Chains A and B, each alone.
Chain A
Amino acid sequence: MTASRTLTFHVFRHNPRDPDSVPGVRDYQVEEAPGMTLFIALTRIREEFDPGLSFDFVCRAGVCGSCAMLINGRPGLACRSLTGELPADISLFPLPGFELIADLSVNTGKWMRAMSERLQAWVHAAGEVNLNEIEIAMDPELAESIYELDRCIECGCCVAACGSAQMRPDFVGAVGLNKLARFRLDPRDDRSDAEYYQLIGDDSGIFGCMSLLGCQDVCPKELSLQTQIAFMRRAMARQGL
Chain B
Amino acid sequence: MKILHSDVLVIGGGLAGQRLALAVKRRGLEPSILSLVPAKRSHSVAAQGGMQASLANCFKGEGDNEDVHFEDTVRGSDWGCDQRVARMFAHVAPKAIRELAAWGVAWNRVRAGEHEVVINGERVTLTEREAAHGLITARDFGGTRKWRTCYTSDGTGHAMLYTLSDRVIAESIPVLERQEALALIHDGQRCHGAVVRDLMSGELSAHLARATVIASGGYGRLYGISTNALINEGMGAALALETGVARLGNMEAVQFHPTAIVPAGILVTEGCRGDGGVLRDADGHRFMPDYEPEKKDLASRDVVSRRMAEHMRAGKGARSSYGEHLWLDITQLGAAHIDRNLREVKDICRYFLGIDPAKDFIPVRPTQHYSMGGVRTDHRGESPWLSGLFSCGEAACWDLHGFNRLGGNSVAETVVAGMLVGEYVADFCQSAHGDLEISTALARDFVLREQRHLEQLLTRPGGENAVSLRRRMEQIMTDKVGLFRNGPDLESAVAELAGLLARSEEIGVRGGLDANPELVLAYRLPRMLKVALTVAMGALNRAESRGAHFREDAPARNDRDWLNRTLACWYEGEALPTLEYEELEVSRMELPPGFRGYGAKNLIEHPDAASRQAEVDEMHAAKLDRHAAQSYLMSFKQFLPLKYRGRNERLDEPLP
Does B655 touch A at the CB level, under 8 Å? yes
Question: Which residues of A lie under 8 Å from residue B110 when comparing CB positions?
Answer: 140
User: When the two chains form their complex, are residues A144 and B108 in contact, meaning their CB atoms are under 8 A apart?
Assistant: yes
Give A154 to B512 CA distance when docked, in angstroms. Answer: 31
CB-CB under 8 A for A134 and B651, given A47-B467, A143-B106, A144-B108 = yes
B contact residues, total (Cβ < 8 Å) = 78
User: When the two chains form their complex, are residues A17 and B515 in contact, meaning their CB atoms are under 8 A apart?
Assistant: yes
Interface residues of A in 117-162 (CB under 8 A from B): 117, 120-123, 125, 128-129, 131-140, 143-144, 146-147, 150-151, 153-154
Give A95 to B608 CA distance when docked, in angstroms. Answer: 63
User: Which of B154-162, B386-394, B485-493, B583-591 lies at the binding interface?
Assistant: B154-162
User: When the two chains form their complex, are residues B229 and A60 in contact, meaning their CB atoms are under 8 A apart?
Assistant: yes
Give A149 to B363 CA distance when docked, in angstroms. Answer: 30
User: When the two chains form their complex, are residues A54 and B169 in contact, meaning their CB atoms are under 8 A apart?
Assistant: no
B135's partner among A59, A64, A101, A137 (CB-CB below 8 A) is A137
CB distance from A206 to the nearest CB of B (A): 20
User: When the two chains form their complex, are residues A61 and B266 in contact, meaning their CB atoms are under 8 A apart?
Assistant: yes
Residue of A nearest to B151 (CB): A147
Among A65, A101, A113, the most chain B Cβ lie within 10 Å of the Cβ of A113
Does B134 touch A at the CB level, under 8 Å? yes
User: When the two chains form their complex, are residues B108 and A143 in contact, meaning their CB atoms are under 8 A apart?
Assistant: yes
Does B340 touch A at the CB level, under 8 Å? yes
Does A102 touch B at the CB level, under 8 Å? yes
User: When the two chains form their complex, are residues B518 and A64 in contact, meaning their CB atoms are under 8 A apart?
Assistant: no
Question: Which residues of B lie under 8 Å from residue A58 when comparing CB positions?
Answer: 37, 41, 43, 229-231
Question: Which residues of A lie under 8 Å from residue B41 when comparing CB positions?
Answer: 58-59, 64-66, 109
Does A93 touch B at the CB level, under 8 Å? no
Does B516 touch A at the CB level, under 8 Å? yes
User: When the two chains form their complex, are residues A62 and B99 in contact, meaning their CB atoms are under 8 A apart?
Assistant: no
Does A15 touch B at the CB level, under 8 Å? yes
Question: Which residues of A lie under 8 Å from residue B201 when comparing CB positions?
Answer: 17
CB distance from A239 to the nearest CB of B (A): 23
CB distance from B309 to the nearest CB of A (A): 23
One digit per residue, 1 when the CB lies within 8 angstroms of any chain A CB and 0 when it does not, for chain B 390-406 equals: 00000000000000000
Residue of A nearest to B102 (CB): A129
Residue of B nearest to A105 (CB): B515
Question: Which residues of B lie under 8 Å from residue A82 when comparing CB positions?
Answer: 351
Does B514 touch A at the CB level, under 8 Å? yes
User: When the two chains form their complex, are residues A122 and B170 in contact, meaning their CB atoms are under 8 A apart?
Assistant: yes
Question: Which residues of B lie under 8 Å from residue A178 when comparing CB positions?
Answer: none
User: When the two chains form their complex, are residues B102 and A147 in contact, meaning their CB atoms are under 8 A apart?
Assistant: no
Question: Which residues of B lie under 8 Å from residue A168 when comparing CB positions?
Answer: none
Give A56 to B514 CA distance when docked, in angstroms. Answer: 16
Does B524 touch A at the CB level, under 8 Å? no
Question: Which residues of A lie under 8 Å from residue B109 when comparing CB positions?
Answer: 137-140, 143
CB distance from B89 to the nearest CB of A (A): 15
One digit per residue, 1 when the CB lies within 8 angstroms of any chain B CB and 0 when it does not, for chain A 214-230 equals: 00000000000000000
Residue of A nearest to B135 (CB): A137
CB distance from A106 to the nearest CB of B (A): 11
Question: Which residues of A lie under 8 Å from residue B647 when comparing CB positions?
Answer: 132
Question: Which residues of A lie under 8 Å from residue B38 when comparing CB positions?
Answer: 66, 108-109, 112-113, 154
Does A46 touch B at the CB level, under 8 Å? yes
User: When the two chains form their complex, are residues B167 and A122 in contact, meaning their CB atoms are under 8 A apart?
Assistant: yes
User: When the two chains form their complex, are residues A66 and B37 in contact, meaning their CB atoms are under 8 A apart?
Assistant: yes
B46's partner among A37, A63, A108, A113 (CB-CB below 8 A) is A63
User: When the two chains form their complex, are residues A147 and B514 in contact, meaning their CB atoms are under 8 A apart?
Assistant: no
User: When the two chains form their complex, are residues B159 and A59 in contact, meaning their CB atoms are under 8 A apart?
Assistant: no
User: When the two chains form their complex, are residues A136 and B101 in contact, meaning their CB atoms are under 8 A apart?
Assistant: yes
Question: Which residues of B lie under 8 Å from residue A52 when comparing CB positions?
Answer: 510-511, 516-518
User: When the two chains form their complex, are residues A113 and B104 in contact, meaning their CB atoms are under 8 A apart?
Assistant: no
Interface residues of B in 59-103 (CB under 8 A from A): 95, 97-99, 101-103
Residue of B nearest to A67 (CB): B41
Does A53 touch B at the CB level, under 8 Å? yes
User: When the two chains form their complex, are residues A188 and B108 in contact, meaning their CB atoms are under 8 A apart?
Assistant: no
User: When the two chains form their complex, are residues A110 and B655 in contact, meaning their CB atoms are under 8 A apart?
Assistant: no
Does B479 touch A at the CB level, under 8 Å? no
Does B411 touch A at the CB level, under 8 Å? no
One digit per residue, 1 when the CB lies within 8 angstroms of any chain A CB and 0 when it does not, for chain B 28-59 equals: 00000000011111110110000000010000
One digit per residue, 1 when the CB lies within 8 angstroms of any chain A CB and 0 when it does not, for chain B 343-380 equals: 01001100110000000000000000000000000000
Question: Which residues of A lie under 8 Å from residue B42 when comparing CB positions?
Answer: 64
Question: Which residues of B lie under 8 Å from residue A122 when comparing CB positions?
Answer: 104, 166-167, 169-170
Question: Which residues of B lie under 8 Å from residue A139 when comparing CB positions?
Answer: 109, 134
Give A84 to B527 CA distance when docked, in angstroms. Answer: 37
CB distance from A112 to the nearest CB of B (A): 7
Give A121 to B110 CA distance when docked, in angstroms. Answer: 27
Question: Which residues of B lie under 8 Å from residue A34 when comparing CB positions?
Answer: 321
Give A58 to B36 CA distance when docked, in angstroms. Answer: 10
CB distance from A138 to the nearest CB of B (A): 5
User: When the two chains form their complex, are residues B166 and A121 in contact, meaning their CB atoms are under 8 A apart?
Assistant: yes
Residue of A nearest to B199 (CB): A101
CB distance from B310 to the nearest CB of A (A): 27
CB-CB under 8 A for A188 and B37, given A62-B348, A134-B135, A134-B651 = no
A102's partner among B46, B177, B515, B646 (CB-CB below 8 A) is B515
B37's partner among A109, A117, A136 (CB-CB below 8 A) is A109
Interface residues of B in 482-520 (CB under 8 A from A): 510-512, 514-518
Question: Which residues of A lie under 8 Å from residue B267 when comparing CB positions?
Answer: 61
User: When the two chains form their complex, are residues B169 and A64 in contact, meaning their CB atoms are under 8 A apart?
Assistant: no
Does A116 touch B at the CB level, under 8 Å? yes
Question: Which residues of B lie under 8 Å from residue A17 when comparing CB positions?
Answer: 200-201, 514-515
Does B648 touch A at the CB level, under 8 Å? yes
User: When the two chains form their complex, are residues A129 and B99 in contact, meaning their CB atoms are under 8 A apart?
Assistant: yes
Residue of B nearest to A183 (CB): B104
Residue of A nearest to B104 (CB): A123
Question: Which residues of B lie under 8 Å from residue A131 when comparing CB positions?
Answer: 95, 98-99, 644, 646
User: When the two chains form their complex, are residues A101 and B515 in contact, meaning their CB atoms are under 8 A apart?
Assistant: yes
User: When the two chains form their complex, are residues B340 and A123 in contact, meaning their CB atoms are under 8 A apart?
Assistant: no
Question: Which residues of A lie under 8 Å from residue B103 when comparing CB positions?
Answer: 123, 125, 188
User: When the two chains form their complex, are residues B104 and A132 in contact, meaning their CB atoms are under 8 A apart?
Assistant: no
Does B107 touch A at the CB level, under 8 Å? yes
Residue of B nearest to A155 (CB): B41
Does A57 touch B at the CB level, under 8 Å? yes
Residue of A nearest to B228 (CB): A59
Does A186 touch B at the CB level, under 8 Å? yes
Give A121 to B466 CA distance when docked, in angstroms. Answer: 42
Give A18 to B511 CA distance when docked, in angstroms. Answer: 12
Give A108 to B37 CA distance when docked, in angstroms. Answer: 10
Give A135 to B229 CA distance when docked, in angstroms. Answer: 33
CB distance from B398 to the nearest CB of A (A): 21
Question: Which residues of A lie under 8 Å from residue B45 when comparing CB positions?
Answer: 59, 63-64, 153
Question: Which residues of A lie under 8 Å from residue B650 when comparing CB positions?
Answer: 134
CB-CB under 8 A for A121 and B169, given A129-B102, A144-B340 = yes
- 21 interchain pairs (CB within 8 A)? A15-B515, A17-B200, A18-B512, A51-B511, A52-B511, A52-B518, A59-B41, A59-B45, A60-B264, A102-B515, A105-B515, A122-B170, A129-B99, A131-B644, A132-B647, A135-B98, A135-B136, A139-B134, A140-B111, A144-B108, A147-B106
Q: Which B residues fall within an 8 A CB radius of A?
A: 37-43, 45-46, 55, 95, 97-99, 101-104, 106-111, 133-137, 152-153, 155, 158-159, 162-163, 166-167, 169-170, 175, 177-178, 200-201, 229-231, 263-264, 266-267, 321, 340, 344, 347-348, 351-352, 466-467, 510-512, 514-518, 521, 644, 646-651, 655
Given contacts A109-B177, A132-B646, 5 further A-B contacts (CB under 8 A): A64-B45, A65-B40, A65-B41, A135-B101, A140-B111
Closest 7 A/B residue pairs (Cβ): A109-B38, A137-B134, A51-B518, A122-B166, A123-B104, A131-B95, A146-B106
Q: Which A residues fall within an 8 A CB radius of B?
A: 15, 17-18, 34-35, 37, 46-47, 51-54, 56-66, 80, 82, 101-102, 105, 107-110, 112-113, 116-117, 120-123, 125, 128-129, 131-140, 143-144, 146-147, 150-151, 153-154, 186, 188-189
